[in-house]
Structure 1
Amino acid sequence: MKIYGLKNCDTCRKALKSMEGSLMVDIRTDGMPEGLLEQAYAQFGSKLLNTRSTTWRGLSEEERGGEPLALLRAHPALMKRPLIERDGELFLGWDQNTRAALGVS
């Protein structure tokens, strides 16, 4: 299982701690595998973009109006975290629904 997020994100660290044997991929330093961002956007749509983040608030109105995938590539911290990949299946966030789907309490 892979957890895509930021190494300094508390929620990503909680997810990593709860799922032994998982690999943390820091999207800011390591990037995302080709096609994964597109796959995640196709599945989650606008939920993939964290519009409550500090990064989002720092963008101009013009930048906010840009194409979501281009924004996420330019500003990885805009992605809602964590994005979890398990056997080709994707999960977004670390709420009780995600934990239940992954079998984590």
Structure 2
Amino acid sequence: MEAITIYGIKTCGSVQKARKYLESKNLPHEFVDWKTTPLDFGFLEWLIGEVGIEVLLNTKGATYKKLGLKERALSPAQKQQIMLEYPLLIKRPVIVYKPSSASAMQVLVGFDESRLAEVFG
């Protein structure tokens, strides 16, 4: 594994579980906290291209409900703009990694221990 970066917020339980998992496997990783590092439009656009906006948008979280987004018919562009303004709307963690055998970066969204074991051992 060449590079692993976890994006999210440090107080999120799913982010903490993912970080602990990688640490238990002695896999070094970088952590980017969206509360202190603003989300970049180009990066969000790339993520959406990799996994799709519906995978990224956390429709079960408190922020989604608080903003009343369920009742609004939002276009993909509107969803993207709202995710830029409210990064807590993005399902966490977002793990970007580059396997040694691949030429491109890969993305995992959400905490799934069996999927992490499949990818990272």
Larger Rg: 2
Distance 1:17 1:69, change over 3 A: same
Distance 1:48 1:42 in 2: 11
TM-score when normalising by structure 1: 0.85
The higher relative CO (CA closer than 8 Å, separation ≥ 6) is in 2
Identity %: 32
Misfit runs of 4+, over 6 Å = none
Q: Unaligned 5+ residue runs, structure 1?
A: none
Of 30, 38, 42, 1:23 maps to 30
Q: Unaligned 5+ residue runs, structure 2?
A: 99-104
1:9 alignment partner in structure 2: 12
Distance 2:118 2:42 in 1: 23
Cα RMSD, aligned residues only? 2.1
Distance 1:63 1:70 in 2: 17
- Is contact 1:92-1:98 (8 Å) kept? no
Question: How many equivalent pairs are there?
Answer: 104
